[in-house]
Amino acid sequence: MPQFLNTADTDFESRFAAFLTTKREDAPDVDAAVAAIIADVRKRGDASVTELTERFDRLALTPDTLAFSEAEIDAECARVPEAERRALEQAAERIRAYHVRQMPEDAQWTDPEGAVLGWRWTPVAAAGLYVPGGLASYPSSVLMNAIPARVAGVERLVVTVPTPDGVVNPLVLLAARIAGVDTVYRIGGAQAIAALAYGTQTIAPVDKITGPGNAYVAAAKRRVFGKVGIDMIAGPSEILVIADADNDPDWIAVDLLSQAEHDESAQSILITPDAAFGQAVAEAVEKRLETLERRAIAGPSWRDFGAVITVRDLDEAAALSDRIAPEHLELCVADTDALSAKIRHAGAIFLGKWTPEAIGDYVGGPNHVLPTARSARFSSGLSVLDFLKRTTLARMSPGALAAIGPAAETLAKSESLEAHGLSVRARLDRLNEETS
């Protein structure tokens, strides 16, 4: 049974605090194994990657077959039914249209002292997108990772996707093609992350790695962070729905289940000002769970980590929501804008009852790679910015140097960095000579 909490209960604060810190995932400690895999790939390159792929994925590859050929991709793409192809294309178009608007502006200005200041953005040269194999091999994730990279202007864009026993999801290859991925390697695990970060004889290294993965992939990303850029380490999915009684309990129930079905560690929470409505939603969840295909996953998720929280009013709901800092937040209330304005920490907000979270997973436009495990307090969903970096620019005129150089010299001396000061002083002395 999910937890039923009520802010009016005297033990609410302690129960909510305990709820917030409930550990949902026992991440196995695979760090030593991952360190060994990375070291081996760095040392032996392709030979290591192919051996590990044979061991973990039961797939014999050679350097020539690490990547899918164009003909193989053609053949797989041809297997995709027309409706799915059209849906992927519609999704890609909408995701692209949203992300194009994220392109930041360069800037340049001259300040009152005559210094020209500014910055400019440039794309990373090469990016690698990790796509999980098996059940969680989602074509939508390929779009969500690859399209922002392409919009940013990344030149070389590769995907790694493990194909255990050689089984591949044709939709993943089609999504990669639609998104403009250059090469798809049929490798996975820590060995794929190592190959992307350090390169092998066949696989050129990339500058940035994004995409979700299992504990091995997460540990490997953490280890190569610094050598390359990485995106966040994603945890199990979460949804928080704030809904008043003017909603169909069944709609809210399926919305909650749409995250619960991802993973037994996923978390679905309803906050409502109406306890009876909360009860009705919980009943609707149970009813849906009777027939849901993934009830063996969604059921434990809902019962172990789900919650229905009754609040006095929507201000309380907003405050609790910020403490949860949910990955996905649905606002199903009369005045969604007023409630939204009170929310500060959330990865994505879905406004109004016609916006189920699943729209955002596929075709809404915003990215579905979002901060989990309360990290919306300090991080954002994937965006074009993740594939760009900023170079700052500064040009002093002689006048600007005369105006601000002395302060730099003073501070350099105070930090005992003599050469810093001398580099300014040498120029100031020249200016003084010239003007005297």
As annotated, the binding site includes 130, 191, 214, 237, 259, 262, 328, 361, 415, 420
Q: Which of 76, 238, 328, 330 is catalytic?
A: 328
| Shortest distance (Å) from residue 174 CB to its own copies | 10
CB-based contact 308:2 (threshold 8 Å): yes
Closest of 4, 1, 2, 6 to residue 273, by C-alpha: 6
Of 66 and 213, which CB lies nearer to its own copies in the complex structure?
A: 213
198 phi, psi to nearest 5 deg: -110, -15
Cβ within 8 Å of residue 7, ≥6 positions away: 309, 310, 311, 312, 316, 320
Nearest-angstrom CA–CA distance, 403 and 428: 10
Of 213 and 421, which CB lies nearer to its own copies in the complex structure?
A: 421
| Shortest distance (Å) from residue 114 CB to its own copies | 10
| Shortest distance (Å) from residue 270 CB to its own copies | 14
Nearest-angstrom CA–CA distance, 359 and 411: 54
Nearest-angstrom CA–CA distance, 96 and 60: 36
| Shortest distance (Å) from residue 112 CB to its own copies | 9
| Shortest distance (Å) from residue 80 CB to its own copies | 9
Q: Is 28 exposed, middle or buried (0-12, 13-18, 19+ CB in 10 A)?
A: exposed
Of 60 and 407, which CB lies nearer to its own copies in the complex structure?
A: 407
Of 51 and 113, which CB lies nearer to its own copies in the complex structure?
A: 113
Tokens for 106, please give them.
Answer: 């360069």
Of 6 and 423, which CB lies nearer to its own copies in the complex structure?
A: 423
CB-based contact 98:366 (threshold 8 Å): yes
Q: Which of 261, 264, 327, 357 is catalytic?
A: 327
Of 50 and 267, which CB lies nearer to its own copies in the complex structure?
A: 267
CA 349 to chain centre: 15
Annotation: binding site for substrate? 237, 259, 262, 328, 361, 415, 420
CB-based contact 11:23 (threshold 8 Å): no
| Shortest distance (Å) from residue 109 CB to its own copies | 8
Annotation: binding site for NAD(+)? 130, 191, 214
The verdict on whether 368 is a catalytic residue reads: no
Cβ within 8 Å of residue 417, ≥6 positions away: none
Annotation: binding site for Zn(2+)? 259, 262, 361, 420
Nearest-angstrom CA–CA distance, 365 and 359: 9
The verdict on whether 99 is a catalytic residue reads: no
Closest of 238, 424, 216, 217 to residue 345, by C-alpha: 238
Active-site positions read 327-328
